[in-house]
Amino acid sequence: MNTNEFQSEIGILFKDDRVLKEALTHRSYLNENKDWPYVHNERLEFLGDAVLELAVTRALFRAFPKEEEGKLTMMRAALVNSRMLAKIGKSIRLQEHLLLSGKKEDRAGKITATVLADAFEALVGAIYLDQGYDAAEKFIKDRVVSRIDEIKRKGYRDPKSVLQEKTHDALKITPTYKLLSESGPKHQKSFKAGVYFGEKLIAEGEGPSKQEAEEEAARKALTTIV
């Protein structure tokens, strides 16, 4: 696997490209390639998620010194949710370099927004390990924080935040979410989540990630109170 093209694409020359190869390795690839010398990218995803949240939080904190915590939280959520990260991943052609099971021509249906977002977080983790925090922060600013004008134009209030605000004002309660079920293989998971007012189930939602299932449940619940 030659990663030179991808390194050129993202503008980062790795000191040790083994960590990049790990970031590009999906768990499913190992099932069919037992001799592949690298582990899957889930540990790097875990690390990258933390680095991403810190870097975005720092950037927003500095850029909007007069904004309240609630609005900063909503802006951050809009920047780091799976749909946005998948969109950013596509912009750097990340999907073309991921290693998954099956034939390359059959991979399109396997690379869901969740798979691509997870891989982007793994890439951030790889950059952090290989280049240090400053390089990872610059990459995040260039690729993620730079989208702030886009989310401000489109509006950054996700349905969960809107539902929480409305239920607090109208009912003096905070909605809670529960994962009701999950199904499918690792690379094509489907989740069902429920939103509750107290012990009462108000609405259910489905999606390729828990976050998206909860957002869909919140979206449906909003129709019951507006």
77 and 174, same domain (yes or no): no
Residue with tokens 């619940």: 221
16 and 96, same domain (yes or no): yes
196 and 86, same domain (yes or no): no
Residue 8 has a pLDDT of: 94
For residue 187, give the CATH number of its domain: 3.30.160.20
Residue at a domain's end among 154, 172, 194: 154
The total number of structural domains that make up the chain: 2
214 and 191, same domain (yes or no): yes
Residue 187 has a pLDDT of: 64
**55-63, long-range: CB < 8 A, 24+ apart:** 55/136, 55/137, 55/140, 55/141, 55/144, 55/145, 56/80, 56/140, 56/144, 56/145, 58/137, 59/140, 59/141, 59/145, 60/145, 60/148, 63/145, 63/148
Residue 16 has a pLDDT of: 94
**What are the phi and psi torsion angles at 81 (to 5°)?**
-75, 165
78 and 173, same domain (yes or no): no
180: enclosing H helix or E strand: strand 176-183
For residue 84, give the CATH number of its domain: 1.10.1520.10
Residue with tokens 């290693």: 99
140 and 169, same domain (yes or no): no
What residues are annotated to the active site? 49, 121
Residue at a domain's end among 154, 169, 195: 154
Residue 112 has a pLDDT of: 84
Sign of CA dihedral 149, 150, 152, 156: negative
Q: Could you tell me the mean pLDDT of each successive run of 10 residues in the chain, 226 residues long?
A: 91 95 94 92 97 97 91 86 92 93 63 90 98 98 95 79 84 91 81 94 92 90 80
Residue at a domain's end among 101, 122, 154: 154
169 and 211, same domain (yes or no): yes
Residue with tokens 């983790």: 125
Residue 196 has a pLDDT of: 96
Domain hosting residue 208, numbered range? 159-225
184 and 91, same domain (yes or no): no
